[in-house]
Amino acid sequence: MGEADLRKVNPRIVYASISGYGFDGPYSDRRGYDPIFQALTGFVTAQLNPEIPIPDLVRNAVVDKATSYALAQGITAALLARERGAEGQHVRISMLDAGLAFFWPDGMLRHSLIGDDVENYSVPGERYQLIPTSDGQIVIWTSTTAQIHASLRAVGRDDLADAPRHKGRESLEEANQIERAEALRDGLAAMTTAQAYERLVENEVASAPVLSHPEVLIDPQLTHNGTIMEATHPVYGRYRRARPAVRFSGTPTADTSAPALYGDHTDEILDELGLSAERVTALREQNVVK
């Protein structure tokens, strides 16, 4: 059943299609998967630890999920347009396009302005930091001079935080950036992750320990938010899943049941279509439905 077949039944449908590289073009016949699109859209190049200068993949399906979210938004927009008088339409998306659109706002920011006489802004490397502690790692983000100074105070380096060379334009000199980075790394390396986290939070530095997956399940804020819910599957037993991230004030989402098993709702669907019991039996005997 293609779009043309369905439009004969209802011309107002919103029909959605996903392709890998695009519906035509030089790559359109190739096989494509999430890591392939990560490589083509800049994700891999961006995953570069300065201490291990080898690009790496984001090791989860980030482009797959970006495509799903973008398509869901596109379908919603098309439905809203239809409610406001537009016709039904075909919403198309390629994973390649979705990957680059998702990556662009920060990952490709330095390539936004065109010309030899312009200076593009880029996110300084001093902000994204994954730093070893004595027993693990901690992530910190310092986007302002005040936050950079606060991180130095957190590791007991008030002398650097107060030094004139670490303020104003002089602070941007490479030697001063290196001095701050080394002081921060040395200070955090002397602390446990718990100690570092406490000190950074006290100094209002955005930070977080690198949680293991089991630790994610018991994080105090996620627990408070009720982000992770438990339910019972009729076949597999107890299971966990994340609640939908969006919360609605007027139309709250209900806890959904477990995903349907193959053929679970055959009878309900065929009943909605008005088929008789005899017709349903015949379809089952012919292995048309389960």
The angle that helices 145-154 and 174-189 make with each other, rounded to 10 degrees, is: 40
* Domain boundaries for CATH 3.40.50.10540 within the chain: 3-111
pLDDT higher than 60, residue 123: no
Separation CA 142–CA 155 (nearest Å) = 14
Q: So what's the pLDDT on residue 124?
A: 53
pLDDT higher than 80, residue 49: no
With cut-offs at 50, 70 and 90, classify the pLDDT of residue 224. very high
Which of 101-115, 172-186, 198-212 has the weakest average pLDDT?
101-115
Q: What is the CATH number of domain 129-210?
A: 3.30.1540.10
Q: So what's the pLDDT on residue 252?
A: 86
Pick from 100, 99, 122, 119: nearest CA to 109: 122
Strands 129-132, 137-141: pairing is antiparallel
What are the backbone dihedrals phi and psi of residue 195, each rounded to the nearest 5 degrees, phi first?
-65, -45
Residue where the block lists tokens 């012919």: 286
Which of 116-130, 161-175, 209-223, 234-248 has the weakest average pLDDT?
116-130
Are residues 98 and 66 in contact, defined by beta-carbon separation less than 8 angstroms? Answer: yes
Q: So what's the pLDDT on residue 126?
A: 52
* Domain boundaries for CATH 3.30.1540.10 within the chain: 129-210
Determine the Cα angle at 16 with ends 11 and 22, to 5°. Answer: 130
Separation CA 246–CA 248 (nearest Å) = 7
Average pLDDT score over residue span 229-254:
87
User: What digits encode the pLDDT tens for the residues 245-263?
Assistant: 888 889 888 777 777 888 8
Name the residue with higher pLDDT: 151 or 46. Answer: 151
Q: Which two tokens stand for residue 287?
A: 């292995």
- Beta-strand runs (E) in the chain: 15-19, 90-94, 129-132, 137-141, 206-209, 228-233, 237-242
CATH superfamily, with its number, for domain 3-111: Crotonobetainyl-coa:carnitine coa-transferase; domain 1 (3.40.50.10540)
User: What digits encode the pLDDT tens for the residues 6-25?
Assistant: 999 999 999 999 999 999 99
pLDDT higher than 90, residue 61: yes
Average pLDDT score over residue span 142-170:
93
pLDDT higher than 80, residue 212: yes
Q: So what's the pLDDT on residue 53?
A: 79
DSSP 52: B
pLDDT higher than 90, residue 51: no
Are residues 40 and 30 in contact, defined by beta-carbon separation less than 8 angstroms? Answer: no
Separation CA 150–CA 126 (nearest Å) = 14
Are residues 108 and 40 in contact, defined by beta-carbon separation less than 8 angstroms? Answer: no
User: What digits encode the pLDDT tens for the residues 24-34?
Assistant: 999 999 999 99
Q: What average pLDDT is seen over the chain? A: 91
Separation CA 261–CA 268 (nearest Å) = 14
Strands 206-209, 137-141: pairing is antiparallel
Beta bridge mates, 139: 130, 208
Q: Which pTM was predicted?
A: 0.80
Residue where the block lists tokens 């979210």: 69
Separation CA 259–CA 241 (nearest Å) = 11
Name the residue with higher pLDDT: 125 or 56. Answer: 56
pLDDT higher than 60, residue 125: no
Separation CA 163–CA 145 (nearest Å) = 12
Name the residue with higher pLDDT: 153 or 112. Answer: 153
